Structure 1
Amino acid sequence: MLDPIVAFFQRIFAAIGRGIGMVIAWILWPFITVANWYRARGWIIKGPIGIVLLLLVGFYGYFVWQTQVWSGFDPDYVNSYNLGQRRQDAGTATAGNATTPAAGEAVEPEPRTCVRSAIVDVTADLIDFNVNQNAWISSMLLYKLGLFGLDWDKTPWFDNKASFQRGVNQVVRRTAVELVDSLGRVRGTSGINADLQRARGNLQFDEETWYFGSDSLLPKTPTPNYYRTAMADLRKFNASLEACDAIFDGRSDNLIELLDRLANDLGATTAILRERSEFYNNGWFDTRADDRFWFAYGQLYAQYGILSAAGADFEAVIRARGIEPLWTSTISQLRSALRIQPSIISNGREDGWIMPTHLATIGFYMLRVRSNFVEIRDVLAR
């Protein structure tokens, strides 16, 4: 009696197998046809085509390596700056070593030095991390070509590092603007610092330019070169500051402006996360969830360094206003957010029980940090 049932299921599985085989054959047919054509050609044709194929395989191997290996990535990178040992604000003159001259000996004054800006150091190092320690993915040719013309950002593959870099770069750009407009000058009584101005201009350059583009036949300067120039200008500014030839204005209202801008950026990103989480919650099958997540993660990664550096550059203001506990708590929350590093990003429903909702989780941490920014800002404004 079971024979008809067994035969029925056998026919079903056989049909499924034939269907899968037809799909595989359809996918492989172009490659098999090209391979047969290639084998039938002479070496005059085989040679150049083989070289081109080898170069293509090499380019894609390099592309895969650069997108999957994150050199220098360290959520605890702030510890390398030893900011806790700083006891003076940025731009303040350091105390020289007192020496007792011998009798009749001429005393030469020691060269005057000032404290470097930790914010500038961290900003320059974040640029170095993005374009020197790693390849800048967004302007790589194979990233721009996409998957058979489909933007990599719209696929589940090879876009996480690019999104993370863009998140870091967004914070770097914001910080450069604040350095030019307020931190690097005494408002109303000094001009804009030329080094910072050049750095800001170069960092505003678009993120996707390669050596050539469809809009012009002339060669172009690729995006990473502009960012490297900005990094050099930032380091030049800090060298001038250390020689007391530049200004870092560590007033409380400048710190308020910096916090306002960082908080606004977090607010804009959480709005994007909320929209994606609310209307496209397809769990592991949301192909845009990963770039949204890693952009937000890049922002938090960079803001962790910038806020830690600001704590050193504005130590006197923070101590005078009594906000050390709140400041330390905010930095701790930023570091806690960096512990979220899922292998696969899922944009599940917030009340779901199978697929997690990583976008809502990272958005929650961003809102916590933003609320602390607002609270610090309110205390400073009193």
Structure 2
Amino acid sequence: MLDPIVAFFQRVFAAIGRGIGLIISWILWPFVAIANWYRARNWIIKGPLGLFVIALVAYYGYFVWQTQVWTNFNPDYVNAYNFGERKRDAGIDAAAQAGTQATAGGEAAEPAPKTCVRSAIVDVAADLIDYNVNQNAWISSMLLYKLGLFGMDWDHTPWLDNKASFQRGINQAVRRTAVELVDSLGRVRGTSGINAELQSARGNIQFDEETWYFGLNPFGPKTPTPSFYRAAMRDLRKFNDSLVKCDAIFDGRSDNLIEFLDRIANDIGSTSAVIRERSEFHNGGWFDTRADDRFWFAYGQLYGYYGILSAAGADFDAVIKSRGIEPLWNESIKQLRSALKIQPAIISNGREDGWIMPTHLATMGFYILRVRSNLVEMRDVLAR
């Protein structure tokens, strides 16, 4: 009685096995054909082609290594700055001099050179650029990343694109900060010109994120993206060096802090809208190949703003304390750090009411909105 049933399942599994075999054969056929063609050639052709294949395999190995190893990634990187030890705001005279000091012989000594406090915001922004393009390779402009997977953009696959999205998120935070440094923080609005170093840094950090050494539009050799970002890093550090010598301005007024918080709130608000759209209309769980891009971009943005806002707390310390928002400020920083605890190995964009696949995008969106809410509240308190 059971023989027909057993035979039926044997035929089903045999058909499945043949189907899988055909698919594997179809995938491997081009490689087998190339290998057969290669074996039939003489060494004049085999030698250069073999070297090319070896170089290509090595380059792909380097590419995979760079996308998977996140050098010096540390959600607690802010602790190394010891912002709590800062005693004066950015741009303020570092040590108020009493004028001249008397020497043992009763003669007046030369006054010490005037120095001002460097900007923590500028230091962190420069260090974030250094992290992106020096401590790590800038993935988005690497040739193999631009070529994609058989012509398919890596961002449309579930592989090898998380680090690139994370780096672009950090870069977005630095870009926004560079704009605010030029427009308000690095000058006295209405009474001083734009700082040349900050202006140069803003232009360089706005450069296209995907430029390699050669391009088609326009056709010809190009300066790659990391070179522009390294120039922006140098410009920011030049500004801080000038600030230490009191040859530059950091305008730490409360209205500048209000505007800075407002711009950051709008920036992460835009990211929140992108995450909401993806979570609501494309919730394919583990099979949503774009969910990881959205998640790691948002993560990188919060990673960058965690350092920049921690630095702003040091640069605007007097304003924060005088306006009584220190507890709220500290809570916002804690919430930013809490968001960085979410580091899933595989990003799932499941339904919010689902019970099998998690919804990492909705979780990240929750943290972003919570941080944005605190920024808006602090802005409103400062504006009263």
Q: TM-score range by the shorter chain?
A: over 0.9
- The equivalent residue for 2:18 is 18
Alignment match of 1:180 (pick from 182, 190, 208): 182
Alignment match of 2:157 (pick from 149, 155, 166): 155
- Separation in 2, partners of 1:96, 1:110: 10
Is the contact between residue 60 and residue 142 of structure 1 (CA under 8 Å) also seen in structure 2? yes
What TM-score does the superposition give when structure 1 sets the normalisation length?
Answer: 0.98
Aligned length: 382
Q: 1:101 is paired with a residue of what secondary structure?
A: coil
- The equivalent residue for 1:145 is 147
- Separation in 1, partners of 2:145, 2:15: 39
Is the contact between residue 138 and residue 164 of structure 2 (CA under 8 Å) also seen in structure 1? yes
Listed as ranges, the gaps of 5+ residues in structure 2 are none
Alignment match of 2:200 (pick from 176, 198, 201): 198
The letter for the 2-side match of 1:370 is: R
**How far 1:150 sits from its partner (Å)?**
0.7
- Separation in 1, partners of 2:161, 2:362: 20
Is the contact between residue 90 and residue 252 of structure 2 (CA under 8 Å) also seen in structure 1? yes
- Separation in 1, partners of 2:79, 2:163: 23
**How far 1:104 sits from its partner (Å)?**
4.2
- The equivalent residue for 2:321 is 319
1:3-42 paired onto structure 2 within 5 Å: 3-42=3-42
- The equivalent residue for 1:246 is 248
- The equivalent residue for 1:48 is 48
- Separation in 2, partners of 1:114, 1:215: 46
Which whole-Å deviations, capped at 9, do the CAs of 1:192-242 have from their partners, x for residues lacking one?
110001000111111111111112332111111001001001000000101
Is the contact between residue 281 and residue 347 of structure 1 (CA under 8 Å) also seen in structure 2? yes
Is the contact between residue 265 and residue 375 of structure 2 (CA under 8 Å) also seen in structure 1? yes
1:120 paired with 2:142, answer no
- The equivalent residue for 2:105 is 103
The letter for the 2-side match of 1:166 is: R
**How far 1:106 sits from its partner (Å)?**
4.5
- Separation in 2, partners of 1:318, 1:29: 67
Which whole-Å deviations, capped at 9, do the CAs of 1:290-326 have from their partners, x for residues lacking one?
0000000011000100100000000000000000100
Is the contact between residue 137 and residue 143 of structure 1 (CA under 8 Å) also seen in structure 2? yes
1:168 paired with 2:149, answer no
Aligned CA-pair RMSD: 1.1
1:356-375 paired onto structure 2 within 5 Å: 356-375=358-377
Which whole-Å deviations, capped at 9, do the CAs of 1:112-148 have from their partners, x for residues lacking one?
1110100000000000001000111111111111111
1:353 paired with 2:355, answer yes
Is the contact between residue 114 and residue 243 of structure 1 (CA under 8 Å) also seen in structure 2? yes
**How far 1:27 sits from its partner (Å)?**
1.1
- Separation in 1, partners of 2:192, 2:9: 84
Q: 1:218 is paired with a residue of what secondary structure?
A: strand
Is the contact between residue 240 and residue 246 of structure 1 (CA under 8 Å) also seen in structure 2? yes
- Separation in 2, partners of 1:2, 1:367: 61
Listed as ranges, the gaps of 5+ residues in structure 1 are none
Q: 2:241 is paired with a residue of what secondary structure?
A: helix
Q: 1:213 is paired with a residue of what secondary structure?
A: strand
Q: 1:132 is paired with a residue of what secondary structure?
A: helix
Is the contact between residue 102 and residue 108 of structure 2 (CA under 8 Å) also seen in structure 1? no
1:2 paired with 2:23, answer no
- The equivalent residue for 1:94 is 94
Is the contact between residue 285 and residue 346 of structure 1 (CA under 8 Å) also seen in structure 2? yes
The letter for the 1-side match of 2:278 is: R
- Separation in 2, partners of 1:216, 1:169: 25
- Separation in 1, partners of 2:110, 2:219: 60
Is the contact between residue 88 and residue 315 of structure 1 (CA under 8 Å) also seen in structure 2? yes
Which whole-Å deviations, capped at 9, do the CAs of 1:323-374 have from their partners, x for residues lacking one?
0100000000000000000000000000000000000000000000000000
Q: 2:216 is paired with a residue of what secondary structure?
A: coil
The letter for the 2-side match of 1:63 is: F
1:285-324 paired onto structure 2 within 5 Å: 285-324=287-326
The letter for the 2-side match of 1:94 is: A
**How far 1:28 sits from its partner (Å)?**
0.9
- Separation in 2, partners of 1:23, 1:94: 71
Q: 1:249 is paired with a residue of what secondary structure?
A: coil
Which whole-Å deviations, capped at 9, do the CAs of 1:33-59 have from their partners, x for residues lacking one?
111111121111100100110111111
The letter for the 2-side match of 1:70 is: W
- The equivalent residue for 1:341 is 343
**How far 1:13 sits from its partner (Å)?**
1.0
**How far 1:97 sits from its partner (Å)?**
8.1
1:57 paired with 2:54, answer no
- The equivalent residue for 2:219 is 217
The letter for the 1-side match of 2:27 is: I
State percent identity of aligned pairs. Answer: 79
- Separation in 2, partners of 1:143, 1:29: 25
**How far 1:100 sits from its partner (Å)?**
5.0
- Separation in 2, partners of 1:23, 1:218: 41
Q: Structure 1 stretch 94-103 or stretch 223-232: which is displaced more?
A: 94-103
Is the contact between residue 96 and residue 110 of structure 1 (CA under 8 Å) also seen in structure 2? no
What TM-score does the superposition give when structure 2 sets the normalisation length?
Answer: 0.98
Which whole-Å deviations, capped at 9, do the CAs of 1:220-272 have from their partners, x for residues lacking one?
11111001001001000000101111110000000001000000011101110
- Separation in 1, partners of 2:237, 2:74: 22
- The equivalent residue for 2:228 is 226
- Separation in 2, partners of 1:336, 1:327: 14
